[in-house]
Amino acid sequence: MIDLTLAEIAAAMDGTFVVGASGATPEDRIAGESQTDSREVQPGQIFFARRGEETDGHRFVPQAVAAGAALIVGERETDDSVPQILVADTTDALGALATEVVRRVRAAGQLRIVGITGSNGKTTTKNLVAAMADRVGPSVASAKSFNNEVGGPLTMLRVEHDTRTLVAEMGASAEGEIARLTAMAPPHIGVVLTVGLAHAGEFGGIETTFRTKSEMVRDLPADAVAVLNRDDAYVSRMGELTNARVRWFGRHPEADVRASDIDSDASGTRFTLHIDGASLPVTFRVLGEHHVTNALAAAAVGSELGLAPADIVAALEGATRAARWRMEVMGGRDGITIINDAYNASPDSMSAGLRTLAQIGKPEGRTVAVLGAMSELGEYAIEEHLRIGLQAVRLRISELVVVGAEARNLHISAINEGSWDGESVFFAEQDEAFAYLERTLRPNDTVLVKSSNAAGLRFLGDRLGEAFA
C-alpha cells in the first residue's frame, strides 16, 4: 500500500483514531498491506477485524497483534497496545480505504485499471492479462480468486505509486456488487467474458446475470475500452449499453481479435491469432479448447496496454496452466493422465470440460469423467445435472464416476440414457471413489475430475495425481 498517515487512513474510512497505550500519533505512517485473516498478518500490516458469516474477526485481534500488526481497524475497541481505528462497518471501511488508495495513485496519471468479469474464465483470463501487464511495468493482480467485496479491496490496497497496471477480477453473487467494485477502482479497460448459469440460484435467472455482468461496462466513460465476447449472445448485447469504445474478441469473423485453425490435444491448443493486422501461430499450453476464448480476451487487453502482437503471443505461450485446480494436468504413470479441474463448475464449464476430455483421450486408453455437484444453480440444479449426465453419454465418455449425493442426478441421467452396464457408477464418499479408481484405472486412461469448489473433488484430483505420478 502507498504510505499514509494514521490520520489519512482514518479520514478515508470515516473512522475514529484511538491511541490507547500504543503511544501512536495521527502523523505516524503505515505502508503495509491489509489483511482480514489474522493468520496472514505480517509485521507492519493492517488487520481489519471483520465480522463474517461464521466468525467475528475481533476475536482474532490478539493473534494479529502478536504477528506484528501495526494497526487494527474494527467496530469496537480491543487490544490497545497498537493504534486502532473504529468504524461503523469494517467491510465498508476496507472498501473505502481501497477507493482512496486507488484514487491517489490513479490521479498521478500512470496507473491503468483492467476489470474482468464473466460467468466463467475470470481467473484464467486474469492470470493471462497479469502476465502481459508484467511486460509493461510493475503490476498488481488479484491473488487466487479474490474478486468480491473483501478480496477486491485487498487486491486494490496492494497498489503502489509505481504500479502501472491493476488487474482486478470482479465477481458477484447479486446485482450491484460489480458496480460497487468498479466504483472503487474505475476500469480503463472493462472485460466481460461470458454470461451463463454460474450462480444462477443466487442471481435468480439468466437475465439477472446479464444485468449484473453488464455493470462492468455500463458506467465506462467514452475514453475507456469495453472488451467483449462476440461469440456470446448476451455479452454481444452489452455493446449497446456502454459509452466506451468496444473491442470485440472471439471466433466470429467480425471480432477484432479472433482465432482460427484451432486444434486441441492433451498437450494444449494450437491456433492462429488475428490481432492488429497480424496473423500469428500460437501454441497455447493451457489445456482445453474453451480456454482459447480467455486467451483472446487477454490478447485484446494486451493490445490495449500497448504490447506488440509478438509480445502478446510470447505471454500466451508462457502460460502452462489456467490456475491451480483448473485443467491442471497431473499423473503420468503408465500413461495415465489426471486432469484436475475441480475448483469451480457451472453447466458451461462442465460441458466444456467433457468436450475437452472427449477430444484428447488416447485411442489406446479410456476417457473417465469423475464428476461432482455443480453448486448455486437453484431451480436449475436438477435440470442441469441431468443434462450433463446425458452429454457424457452422448460424447461417448468411456466411464462416468459420480461422487456425492448432490450429484446423483448425473448418474441417474446417464443410466437412463443407456449407461447401465457399469459405464456409470456412483459413490457417496470421495474415499470410496478413490479406492475404486485406484483399482480400476488402466494404462493410457485420461481422467477428468470436475466439480464445484464446495463439492471438494479437487482434493480427490490431487490424490489421484499423486497416486499415478
CB contact at 8 A, 142 and 194: no
Q: How many CB atoms lie within 10 A of CB 453?
A: 15
CA distance 228 to 232: 9
Q: How many CB atoms lie within 10 A of CB 112?
A: 22
The cell for 303 is 493490445
Q: How many CB atoms lie within 10 A of CB 92?
A: 14
CA distance 150 to 46: 14
Residue ranges of the annotated binding site for ATP are 118-124
Q: How many CB atoms lie within 10 A of CB 280?
A: 15
Give bridge partners of residue 225 from the DSSP assignment. Answer: 189, 245
Q: What length does the chain have?
A: 469
Residue 80: helix, strand or coil by DSSP? coil
Q: Give the contacts of 316 (CB within 8 A, at least 6 positions apart).
A: 128, 273, 282, 284, 295, 298, 299
- Residue 405 sits at the vertex; the CA angle it makes with 399 and 409, to the nearest 5 degrees, is 60
Residue ranges of the annotated binding site are 118-124
Cα-Cα end-to-end distance for the chain:
41
Q: Give the contacts of 63 (CB within 8 A, at least 6 positions apart).
A: 38, 39, 41
**Beta strand residue intervals within 136-287, DSSP E:** 139-141, 165-169, 189-192, 225-229, 245-250, 257-265, 268-275, 278-284
CB contact at 8 A, 375 and 452: yes
Q: How many CB atoms lie within 10 A of CB 286?
A: 23
Q: How many CB atoms lie within 10 A of CB 442?
A: 13
CA distances from 88 to 9, 16, 96, 355, 444 (A): 15, 10, 12, 50, 59
